[in-house]
Structure 1
Amino acid sequence: MLQEVFSAAPTLHHPRMLTPLPSLTAELPELESKISFLPFVSYLKDKLPKVSETTSKFFTQLIDNLERRPALLSPMNNLSSLEEQSELLEMLCTALFPVVSEHEKNSFALSVPYQFQIFHHSEPFARLFLDQTKEHLLLPENLASDQLKNIECSMIYSHVLEKFYGIKLNDSPELVYPVSDANTGLKRYFKIKYDRRFIDVHLKGVLPPIHDCAVCLNTFRILDLEKQLQAMPLHLFEVEGFAVWVAEDVTTDESLETIKKILLRQKSCDMGIADELKEAIHALVGLNDIQIGLSPFLKVNNRYILDDTCSQNSLGGKQMLSNDPDSQAAFSMYVGFLSEHPEPITFSVLSEDLVRDIPLLKPVFDMGARSYIHYPMQNSDGLLGVLEIASPIPNLLTYEVMSRLEPAIPLLSVALLKSIDAFHQKIENLVKEKFTALQPSVDWKFAEVAWESLRNNDIGTPNVVFENVYPLYGAIDIRNSSMERSHAIQKDLKEHLVVIDEILNRLEEQVHLPLLEGLKFKIFTIQQTIQENMLTEDEVRINEFIENEVRPVLGHLQRMNPQLQKIVDDYFDMVQSPDSPLCRYRKEYEETLSIINETMLQFLDKEEDSVQKSYPHYFEKYRTDGVEYNIYIGQSIAPNYPFDLLYLKNIRLWQLRSMAEAARISHNLLPSLKLPLQTTQLILIQSQCISILFRRDERRFDVEGAYNIRYEIIKKRLDKVHIKDSTERLTQPGKIAIVYSNQKEVPEYQQYIEFLQNKNILQPGIEFLDLEELQGVNGLKAMRVAINLEK
């Protein structure tokens, strides 16, 4: 029976060492590696009790044959002991690849352990991976020497770390060969699977501590190969045995991966990308005499439109032109038909009779197609586009071919969707790429400029300027927010250090490790440093200490000592938990800040919607440690609405009243907040008109002109201004500070204040204050009035 199996297996050639060209492997590190069949024999002996009687006889005979040749069981420096062992290698390969597994499809080789050197191979392997002279082993095209080095070292270190440290690396770089098919000329992809089961690795020196190496013990990856080679040089090890290379056809996977990579570029109907997608589809289908079309269906105002750039990527729509009424009519009919019949279909034989019955097939028939696949793609919004494959050969394109396309259809649908989105973005970019997302009060101006830009072919686009507008500025700030954040971090880090100290105490009860005592001393030193105050550099130093010193030690003990695992697991669970008590104070601070800011933003949005109805104006708000906003109002912003100063007075009164209301709302939040953070309210008066210019590089409005810039400087420097000749801050919780530089601005605001005092919104009395000189600004004054927070 065994003799029949052996005789059925095709004859293989004599063993011969084949390597890549020396220039390709010159930079690879040296490793003592020898061929031996002892690991293979040991493997077979382990298998004997678990296999059938027939297989057991086969394995036993193979073991006997190998053991009768002791030279094969010893490490070999060359192939002299194998020169006359072709039949034995044939028998060995039959054990690895049974004859029933279609030998002609078995693409494999036997190699020196962890070396790019093969000494035995199958004929299919030779056709794919040997050069034309059959003298050299090929490597993948464009494979850089550092990539080859990374692949080889990763395989070696994976074996070493698993055997000696019990660590299994997550990295597994592999050789992937693009190979041109001899029949079709198309690229196919083969991945080399490396079987190391018949390799033993032996230690020749002393293993370095794992924490001295470049292995990340959290991700189980080698972070720095050169550092790893220095810390754990390969001369510490020797390997013996042989590896089995098996080539696996991964054309489908690689074609899909190619499509994914193309999608990451997020281009629109770019011809280069369309061609790349078609090439990937071509490889996926695996046929030579075909043409591929891939085109999106674009919409404007929910109506399908014919776009010349996209139609060029179609087979049936190549002749359609957007400025041709007949083409537009044909395209509308085509889309209408597909909307009613969106199912994919294969026309294995495209004939004149079929074209007469289905006139939509005439364009592809006229271009010479005699078999055709038509695959529409859609989502919940309707048709996304269509994939077409055509061939001049009848019966070439079948349902079996269409089935090969199925794995790629979701990705191609994404490609079409991205193309559609990019088209819509292209439309919007006529405004947004030069300007910004706009408010209705000013978008009319940008639309005019965009139209002028289109009309002039984007030459000499004018600036967007609004002249003679009145500015209003307000700031709702959270008092002492930076200090509160620092305190919160300080308390969290104190808690964290206490927890770590307790963990180290528990670990010391289980294991004697002086390093733990050293860590405890560092913790004590840090605790003393931040007992009263904590600087920014202290925060950085503590986080680095925890990350770079504490966590690696705990991680090592967690893996290497089962008795300590639960103690360390509990700590890591605590640190990683979303509700970890170790960041409680920080979360309380951030939640409090977020609640106040969100409440203020919602309040301003609601108020803005209301006041916008009185007269159109531009309103922009932005979040800092609180909320700041700018308002610009004037005739140039709303040319269709006659402007009067009463609208300015109205919005100034609204601003003062809304500031009081914002203070009252934030005050009422205090009982529900985890931290008692209070807000301050600031208004800056500017009676003179200014001009604002839209700055395209910053996507925002800014003042125009030297005098107007002074207004911006004042805004930026008012944040923490003090009352003149004192250390008291102007802004105080429960009060509105109104800053001005011209005494003529005071009477108007006095009237507003008295009105709101009469309505019991503001408390009686006004403070008139001189402010300290600011850099580049002097002579500022302020009014300050208390708010009735209990109203």
Structure 2
Amino acid sequence: MKIVTSNLNENMELPLQLTISFQKVFSLFKKYASEEFSNHPYHKSSLEIVEDFKNYPEELIEGFSDFSLLEKYQDQIDLLLDPLFPELLLLNEIKAASIPFSFTSFKFTTRFEQILNNAGEHYKLSLRNFEEDTMYIMACTFIMNLYYGFSIDLKRPFFFDIPDKNSGITKHYRTAFNGDFSEIIPTKNAPKITEEDYRELLDNFENIKIWKEKFPPGSYIFKGFGIMNLFDVTADEIISSIRTNLLRSSDNLNEELQHDLREFFEIKDLMLGFSIFTIENGLNQLRVKMSESTLFTFMSEISCSNHFCHHIVGKIFNQYESVAISDVEMYGQKHGHNPFYHQLHKVGIGSIILIPVKASNNKDLTIIEIASPRPFELNSINQNKLKDIISAFEIAVERFIEEQQNVIEATIQEHYTTIHSSVKWRFIEAAEKYQRELQEKNQDIKPDPDEIIFENVFPLYGQSDIKGSSLARNNAIKEDLATQLMLTINVLSEAYKKEKLPIYEELTFRVSEYLNEVNSGLKAGDEISILNFLKRDIYPVFKHAKRNHKPLRKEVDKYMERLDDNLHVIYEKRKNYENSVTMLNDPS
């Protein structure tokens, strides 16, 4: 008999003594073997089991805690439990007989056994995110529910992460536990739990000392076994992880998303990349602004009509719809081995999904590439699995483009003098070229930014000062920033009430830190740092919240209404300040 243990400490303290017994399931067979159920479908088989069981050892009924006896009595246990594991479902269900709180499991469906075999010879069931104290308290609530009848809801799901050595992918499973074939028996050392104890425990979940006083270690006996069902939630887990990663900012975002998508599509060498294009002259020319791509990294300009087939031009660049190429070689044959085919073939791509994301505030178009080295692994069918996360990709792309715009602005400020808006386009092009060269060259060798010269252009500017104006302006900035940060916290708090995502808590903490800094006094660069943080990390999350929860739309809209239409920040105190300065300087 295959016996699998878990990653829990074998000597872990519990209020329960774990005893394996088949008394309850045997009682069911005795029930169906009686004359009362002579017409029941189980009557005949139950009679045979009851008759055979006369020669079985008593400890199968009375119970035993030596788990090695499971193997000794394998034949008898199989006979008793086979009706709970119908043959027609052995290849479909992921089910096992198991002992709660230790997760030692000893009878499996065929599908479960295959999963465990693929995990490796020495694999132990790996329970996720459970501490010993939490397990102890869960066992106490189990006793309170089953023995005392107190209603306590601590139905926190258990999750197992089980690797597949063949595919290199880790699968995620949620468990459901059926305790119908078990009972709880108090020992002489078990204090009786009263209504007063129950109420005290309700307010002391994290006080393990109180729980151990009410339920001393080993003071109750668990007698029986449980049925554990596993449900594959890999897709749900990965979608959740992808959404979380896309909504937060990370230096390793591309790497983290690639890992998630490899599990999502079950392709261990899947490749993820993206490129940001500016569309010029209709669709005649694409300028590559930014690329972390296996396809476009070393390209600066692309002619749409010459490079891509008409189908891709229409779908990607006109309709902004995703395209799947399931067989790159077949694509090449159909489209005359065009330059795009040669690109795909050169880097060893066999199948690919292209996802266009159009920026809402400019002409930029981002193309996300999900590629496999083998044909048919990516196709128009599994492309549809991405529908649930496309909106999160759109939010992430918007944030990334804003971050890149900030980088371009910073590059201009670092390498060039103050510029007039009418010629800013020239500086933007130079800054984008500089950033592209930074990516392409060795990190130790920095490129030189282009020198920009305008012949026969002369700057004209002037400046006047009002005594005390700098202090007044700084106070105005401080008050506007503080107001905006407080409003941000309000929206995040409302969002957390609707959807308890950890990212809302994390962002609330970070906004509070910025608010404390502002209240303590502004330093050089604080304003830019805070506004960049809001654009990069907060606004994409607001879009997600607004899109997924109608009640939050009003909160987000109220926030956005307070922002200046042009500057996209709260500009109330500063506007009052500027109006005052204008009045003082007005010669009329």
Deviation at 1:252, TM superposition (A): 0.9
- Per-residue Cα deviation, 1:363-411 (whole angstroms, up to 9, x for no partner): 2133233333333356887986334333343334333432444444343
**1:375–1:386 contact (8 Å) kept in structure 2:** yes
Deviation at 1:30, TM superposition (A): 5.4
Letter in 2 for 1:349: D
**1:126–1:134 contact (8 Å) kept in structure 2:** no
- Give the match for residue 90 of structure 1: 78
**1:298–1:420 contact (8 Å) kept in structure 2:** no
- In 2, Cα distance between equivalents of 1:348 and 1:646: 68
Partner secondary structure for residue 399 of structure 1: coil
1:195 pairs with 2:151: no
- In 2, Cα distance between equivalents of 1:67 and 1:297: 79
- In 1, Cα distance between equivalents of 2:32 and 2:402: 58
- Structure 2 CA distance for partners of 1:137 and 1:176, relative to 1, 3 Å: closer
- In 1, Cα distance between equivalents of 2:106 and 2:348: 50
Letter in 1 for 2:378: L
- Give the match for residue 18 of structure 2: 33
1:122-271 correspondence to structure 2 within 5 Å: 125=112, 128-129=115-116, 137-140=124-127, 147-150=130-133, 152-153=135-136, 155-163=138-146, 164-179=148-163, 181-203=164-186, 204-208=190-194, 209-210=196-197, 213-216=200-203, 222-267=205-250, 270=251
- Give the match for residue 469 of structure 1: 466
User: What's the Cα RMSD here?
Assistant: 5.2
Partner secondary structure for residue 39 of structure 1: helix
- Give the match for residue 54 of structure 1: 41
Which of 364, 377, 382 is matched with 1:401 structurally?
Answer: 382
1:402-551 correspondence to structure 2 within 5 Å: 402-424=383-405, 468-469=465-466
- In 2, Cα distance between equivalents of 1:87 and 1:384: 65
1:386 pairs with 2:373: no
- Structure 2 CA distance for partners of 1:120 and 1:357, relative to 1, 3 Å: closer
- What TM-score, normalized to structure 2? 0.59
- What TM-score, normalized to structure 1? 0.46
Letter in 1 for 2:170: K
- In 1, Cα distance between equivalents of 2:346 and 2:68: 66
Partner secondary structure for residue 115 of structure 1: coil
Letter in 1 for 2:84: L
- Give the match for residue 110 of structure 1: 97
- In 2, Cα distance between equivalents of 1:131 and 1:243: 24
- Give the match for residue 592 of structure 1: none
- Per-residue Cα deviation, 1:293-320 (whole angstroms, up to 9, x for no partner): 34556799x99985554x223x432332
- Per-residue Cα deviation, 1:168-188 (whole angstroms, up to 9, x for no partner): 314504132141x23322332
- In 1, Cα distance between equivalents of 2:406 and 2:51: 73
Letter in 1 for 2:73: Q
1:303-314 correspondence to structure 2 within 5 Å: 306=287, 309=290, 311-313=291-293
The structure, 1 or 2, with the larger RCO (C-alpha pairs under 8 Å, 6+ apart) is 2
Gapped regions of structure 2 (runs ≥ 5):
414-418, 435-447, 450-461, 473-561, 565-570
**1:114–1:243 contact (8 Å) kept in structure 2:** no
**2:96–2:109 contact (8 Å) kept in structure 1:** yes
Letter in 2 for 1:316: L
Partner secondary structure for residue 192 of structure 2: coil
- Structure 2 CA distance for partners of 1:365 and 1:317, relative to 1, 3 Å: same
Partner secondary structure for residue 366 of structure 2: strand
- Structure 2 CA distance for partners of 1:394 and 1:50, relative to 1, 3 Å: farther
- In 1, Cα distance between equivalents of 2:400 and 2:72: 62
Partner secondary structure for residue 54 of structure 1: coil
Gapped regions of structure 1 (runs ≥ 5):
1-12, 433-442, 458-464, 474-601, 606-618, 623-627, 651-791
- Structure 2 CA distance for partners of 1:57 and 1:192, relative to 1, 3 Å: same
1:343 pairs with 2:321: yes
- In 2, Cα distance between equivalents of 1:340 and 1:133: 49
- In 2, Cα distance between equivalents of 1:173 and 1:327: 51
- Give the match for residue 297 of structure 2: 318
- Structure 2 CA distance for partners of 1:336 and 1:466, relative to 1, 3 Å: farther
Deviation at 1:76, TM superposition (A): 1.8
- In 2, Cα distance between equivalents of 1:50 and 1:172: 39
- In 1, Cα distance between equivalents of 2:116 and 2:134: 17
Deviation at 1:207, TM superposition (A): 0.6
1:363 pairs with 2:343: yes
- In 2, Cα distance between equivalents of 1:155 and 1:66: 35
1:721-736 correspondence to structure 2 within 5 Å: none
- In 2, Cα distance between equivalents of 1:229 and 1:152: 12
- In 1, Cα distance between equivalents of 2:153 and 2:245: 29
- Structure 2 CA distance for partners of 1:198 and 1:394, relative to 1, 3 Å: same
- Structure 2 CA distance for partners of 1:359 and 1:177, relative to 1, 3 Å: same
- Structure 2 CA distance for partners of 1:238 and 1:128, relative to 1, 3 Å: same
- Between the aligned residues of both structures, percent identity stands at 18
- In 2, Cα distance between equivalents of 1:47 and 1:386: 65
Partner secondary structure for residue 223 of structure 2: strand
Deviation at 1:240, TM superposition (A): 1.0
**2:15–2:136 contact (8 Å) kept in structure 1:** no
- In 2, Cα distance between equivalents of 1:241 and 1:89: 12
- In 2, Cα distance between equivalents of 1:431 and 1:232: 67
- Structure 2 CA distance for partners of 1:325 and 1:356, relative to 1, 3 Å: closer
**2:17–2:219 contact (8 Å) kept in structure 1:** no
**2:171–2:232 contact (8 Å) kept in structure 1:** yes
1:282 pairs with 2:262: yes
**1:112–1:118 contact (8 Å) kept in structure 2:** yes
Deviation at 1:206, TM superposition (A): 1.1
- Structure 2 CA distance for partners of 1:264 and 1:55, relative to 1, 3 Å: farther
- Structure 2 CA distance for partners of 1:347 and 1:299, relative to 1, 3 Å: closer
- In 2, Cα distance between equivalents of 1:365 and 1:50: 70
**1:71–1:81 contact (8 Å) kept in structure 2:** no
- In 2, Cα distance between equivalents of 1:348 and 1:20: 41
- In 1, Cα distance between equivalents of 2:577 and 2:120: 77
Deviation at 1:273, TM superposition (A): 0.6
- In 1, Cα distance between equivalents of 2:327 and 2:38: 52
**2:98–2:105 contact (8 Å) kept in structure 1:** yes
Deviation at 1:238, TM superposition (A): 2.1
Deviation at 1:58, TM superposition (A): 4.3
- In 2, Cα distance between equivalents of 1:429 and 1:50: 83
- In 2, Cα distance between equivalents of 1:384 and 1:57: 71
Deviation at 1:198, TM superposition (A): 1.9
Letter in 2 for 1:72: L
Partner secondary structure for residue 382 of structure 2: helix
- In 1, Cα distance between equivalents of 2:44 and 2:358: 59
Deviation at 1:282, TM superposition (A): 1.2
Deviation at 1:286, TM superposition (A): 1.1
1:487-636 correspondence to structure 2 within 5 Å: 621=573
- In 2, Cα distance between equivalents of 1:386 and 1:90: 56
Partner secondary structure for residue 184 of structure 2: strand
- Structure 2 CA distance for partners of 1:298 and 1:55, relative to 1, 3 Å: farther
Partner secondary structure for residue 468 of structure 1: coil
Letter in 1 for 2:180: R
Partner secondary structure for residue 465 of structure 2: strand
- Give the match for residue 695 of structure 1: none
- Structure 2 CA distance for partners of 1:97 and 1:123, relative to 1, 3 Å: closer
